[in-house]
């Protein structure tokens, strides 16, 4: 049997006395778009870093892309892409240099990097911008570029940490077209977002509160369960019960 893209059991992460991730368990199916929501400080980034092989859990077990989160972190890193909102690109390197750098980090050979660079620049319609500093690009372009770079090695799973923060609705919509394309080609997408309209685009979403998963299902089922018109209401109900501020 082929394993799910992500299989997590009883994952806990403590910092001293403080429990940031508290015994969470969930699976993400292959090819699924999985939304990972929660109030500020709920533990999303902490959990995501463990799934990406960047941090070790205090306890618990699981696999990502079939590899063990406790013992095979280097293998996990090769099979996933990771896009953090703030530090994805080097602003003082050009577009081309960023592609070359990350291609190398993800283990591609020079020839592959060259080919991928051409394809990627054409696909993004950014040939004219290839020698511009990444830092000088509009935010929407930076994010598209960062997404494509995180996909350059054809990862099985892409982790997106608030990829559309601060971007206008039209650019966000176009960004989600890229997410859908990736998903249709079989890539599993694991995404955190502050925008509840985006939560509606996910196949399933989980809502974290105080390090625990308070709800996990498809947006349709969650709306039914919480008798809500939209995901914003669902989110407010779940997080409101815990007395947390309204932020994802």
Residue 41 near ligand ATP by CB under 6 A: yes
Q: Which of 3, 9, 29, 40 binds ligand ATP (CB under 6 A)?
A: 40
Beta-carbon neighbour count of residue 33 at 10 Å?
Answer: 22
How many Å apart are CA 208 and CA 87, to the nearest integer? 24
Among 26, 45, 80, 199, binds ligand ATP (CB under 6 A): 45
Q: Which is nearer to ligand ATP, 80 or 134 (CB)?
A: 80
Measured CA to CA, the distance from residue 174 to residue 53 in angstroms comes to 29
Q: Write down the least CB distance from residue 41 to ligand ATP, Å.
A: 4
Q: How would you classify residue 218: left for phi > 0, otherwise alpha for psi between -120 and 50, otherwise beta?
A: beta
Cβ 154 to ligand ATP shortest distance, Å: 27
Judged by CB under 6 A, the chain residues 184 through 203 that form the site for ligand ATP are none
**Rounded distance, CA 211 to CA 124, Å?**
37
Please choose, from the candidates 56, 73, 35, the residue with its C-alpha nearest in 3D space to the C-alpha of residue 197: 35
For ligand ATP, which is the closer residue by CB, 18 or 243?
Answer: 18
Binding of ligand ATP by 44 (CB under 6 A): yes
CB of 215 to ligand ATP, least distance (A): 15
Q: Please write down the long-range contacts of 227-232, taking CB distance under 8 Å and 24 or more positions apart.
A: 230/196, 230/200, 231/196, 231/197, 231/199, 231/200, 231/205, 232/196
Q: Which position among 5, 6, 8, 20 is part of the footprint of ligand ATP (CB under 6 A)?
A: 20
Q: What is the 3-class SS of 143-162, one letter each residue?
A: HHHHHHHHCCCCCCEEEEEC
Residue 241's H or E segment, with its range, is helix 231-241
Stretch that binds ligand ATP, among 15-23, 106-114, 152-160, 228-236 (CB under 6 A): 15-23
Q: Is 127 helix (H, G, I), strand (E, B) or coil?
A: helix
Residue with smaller CB distance to ligand ATP, 45 or 188: 45
Q: Report the alpha-carbon angle 41-21-166, nearest 5.
A: 35
Burial of 217 (0-12, 13-18, 19+ CB in 10 A): middle
Q: Tell the smallest beta-carbon distance from residue 125 to ligand ATP (Å).
A: 32
122 lines the binding site for ligand ATP (CB under 6 A):
no
Q: Which stretch binds ligand ATP (CB under 6 A): 3-11, 26-34, 40-48, 129-137?
A: 40-48
The site that binds ligand ATP (CB under 6 A) totals a number of residues, namely 11
- Choice between 42 and 134, CB closer to ligand ATP: 42
- Of 44-52, 70-78, 83-91, 237-245, the window that binds ligand ATP (rule: CB under 6 A) is 44-52
Q: How far is the CB of 136 from ligand ATP (least distance, A)?
A: 27
Residues that bind ligand ATP (CB under 6 A): 15, 18, 20, 38, 40-46
């Amino acid at each position: 049997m082929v394993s799910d893209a992500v299989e997590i059991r009883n994952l806990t992460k403590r910092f001293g006395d403080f429990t940031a991730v508290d015994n969470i368990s969930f699976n993400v199916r292959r090819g699924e778009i999985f939304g990972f929501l929660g109030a500020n400080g709920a533990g999303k980034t902490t959990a995501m870093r463990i799934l990406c092989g960047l941090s070790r859990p205090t306890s618990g077990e699981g696999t990502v892309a079939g590899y063990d989160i406790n013992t095979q972190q280097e293998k996990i890193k090769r099979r996933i892409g990771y896009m953090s909102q703030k530090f994805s690109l080097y602003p003082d390197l050009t577009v081309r240099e960023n592609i070359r750098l990350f291609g190398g980090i993800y283990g591609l050979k020079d020839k592959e990097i060259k080919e991928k660079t051409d394809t990627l620049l054409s696909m993004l319609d950014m040939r004219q911008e290839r020698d511009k500093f990444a830092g000088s690009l509009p935010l929407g372009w930076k994010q598209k570029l960062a997404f494509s770079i995180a996909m350059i090695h054809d990862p099985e799973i892409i982790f997106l940490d608030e990829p559309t923060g601060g971007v206008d609705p039209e650019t966000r919509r176009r960004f989600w077209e890229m997410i859908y394309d990736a998903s249709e080609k079989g890539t599993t997408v694991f995404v955190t977002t502050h925008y509840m309209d985006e939560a509606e685009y996910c196949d399933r979403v989980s809502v974290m509160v105080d390090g625990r998963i308070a709800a996990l299902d498809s947006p349709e089922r969650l709306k039914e369960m919480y008798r809500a018109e939209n995901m914003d209401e669902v989110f407010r109900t779940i997080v409101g019960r815990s007395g947390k501020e309204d932020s994802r």
